Structure 1
Amino acid sequence: MISDKPVIGITMGDPASIGPEIAIKALLTERIFEICNPVIIGDASVFNDIIKRLDTNAKINVIKSISDAKFIYGEPDVFDLQNVDMGQLRFGEISAMAGNASFEAVKKVIELALAGEVDATVTGPINKKSVNEAGHHFAGHTEIYAHFTNTKKYAMLLVEENMKVIHVSTHVSLRQACDLVKKERIIQVIELLHNGLIQLGETNLKIGVAGLNPHAGDSGLFGTEDDLEILPAVQEAREAGYQVEGPVPADTLFSKASTGYYGGIVAMYHDQGHIPFKLTGFKWNAQKQQMDSVKGVNITMGLPIIRTSVDHGTAFEIAGKGVASSDAMILAIESAVQLSKARLNQNA
């Protein structure tokens, strides 16, 4: 670490997406340099193009190692992977080239974090189809991180103000998601959420656990998973000392969570957690036909390194237009800084 500020590695995401744009916009926010030393991992030619499109006086500092970074506001450091052919790149289009470039940026930032060269990692949005077309068969960022860090127990935690949601399962079919509602996994996720809340500085450690079925099964009338898997998990977690309630019907749980009643909640599957979360952080302007604000941070819990991310997609429809919001990227960087400090204090 060059100073007392953590070094944060930020991946560009898919170069055909809004990822590079929001990374540059975030690093053109002066307070980011007040709290950390940021460095972008990606292709320098992509960022030179973005800077021209944004008509800013910023200048890219191209580096080949973290030790070459200057961490100067107005001169974003870009760890150049030289893996994008600008002659072939088309904004808003799926391609193996773009998928490979985004994948290589993620792989490199993981390597840098494992080597201790960056203190935390922040990821821009990738397109899963592009990544898979490039021959990298992963369901998403979380699975890439788990693979390259050899992590078996992990979960996705979404954070936006009062809404802090962790998931029992994510990128699987709904049929598979129901089958994955198992007592052992639910207990594991409760533990990950509890630890995450502490690392984020949360004082309210009360955890609400969502039911899977309507009315949390209504005593077996609408399914048995709530009684046979979720309730025993909650009881065992409570006996272990965790402040936990459930299973709570999802239509009640999330409305209570939005008020701050729970410090965090456990969702049983991807959309159960993502839909109410995005209703909180995503603000669509119908008149302008664009997002006024896209807030929300995705944190992968259970990894040996820190990983936060924007919790939105590639937004291909507005890529290259200069109108993308960097709110979520800024929040992701701030969360990475918070987690870095918490880890440093824990290891002190």
Structure 2
Amino acid sequence: MAEEKVTWRADLVIHNGQNRIAIYFKKDIDLIARVKKLTGVKWSQSLKAWHIADNKKNRERFNLRIEKTQDLSLDKVDALLNFEQWLLAKRYSSNTIKTYLDAIKSFFKFYDNKALDKIDNADVIVYHNEFILKNKLSSSYQNQIINAIKLYFSIIKETVIVIEKIHRPKRENLLPNVLSKEEIKEILNAHGNIKHKTMLSLIYSCGLRRSELLNLKLNDIDSNRNIVIIRQSKNKKDRIVPLSPKILTMLRDYYISYKPKIWLFEGQNIGEMYSEKSLQSILKQALVKVKITKPVTLHWLRHSYATHLLESGTDLRYIQELLGHNSSKTTEIYTHVSTKSLQQIKSPFDDL
């Protein structure tokens, strides 16, 4: 298939937590018949593509290495692929791998005409000034780039980069975005579809990250102990969170209607994980229905959960455990958005 003209496109993707090669092409009976003959090929409704295992043989089959040279020189392509293999061997999460690869690729593209062993600390500073700052990219993105650069150049032998001298931007003190309980109630009740309603409700009621919800399996809901088990989340940590009786009732109604087989929330195909894009779409639809114009994201539900717990008197140490934070300093940021104490302060203006 590598000899075909531009009738198809193959991309490296992470699907259901696995590295795969997705094959995209317009509907063509002959191409479909040929693709079906490939060993281990599967169709994904969420990707809208056929996909096969990501290995050396399949990469060569689809000429992925040559495709990548449109963006990067061959030495940078090799470096990127080797970095990916190292991250996989170290069992970094799929999200972290994608973030690091995207970040280091951006840096490689900026210095595509310069050998990797010649790139030094001055080049890193130039990249920050001439690419990140010039394009008004965020400090959080800049931090991602720094993390990727530090990690990559710490694992290769031939480099003139001094890791300790790569400095981070001054940290922005941004407050988490929080919705009121009334706004949360409107959003969660916006959908009549039990599946959509349950997904959003479970995120808020348990303070879940998007990926944590999508990675839940049926046996992660322990109705006997009234807990949800979140396995191997950020920083490869397991944790448990309490299961609301109201959510348990919703989950039972949802299960009767949909009968998922593997994942708690599955896509259109049985046994296929629900997609991040579809989950985001569910939230967007809810916002439109209730006419909330704030740029709400799924993570706002998690922030709101933590803040509402704090305002109801839950100890900060428990909130840290429920959210899966390594450091209490991360959890303490919610004290700055809680309005419980602020509402007790009387403005001197009222005495005028």
Question: What's the TM-score, normalizing by structure 2?
Answer: 0.25
Q: Larger Cα Rg: Structure 1 or Structure 2?
A: 2
| Higher RCO structure, 1 or 2 (CA under 8 Å, sep 6+) | 1
Q: Which protein is richer in strand relative to its size? A: 1
Which structure shows the bigger proportion of residues in helix conformation?
2
TM-score w.r.t. length of structure 1: 0.26
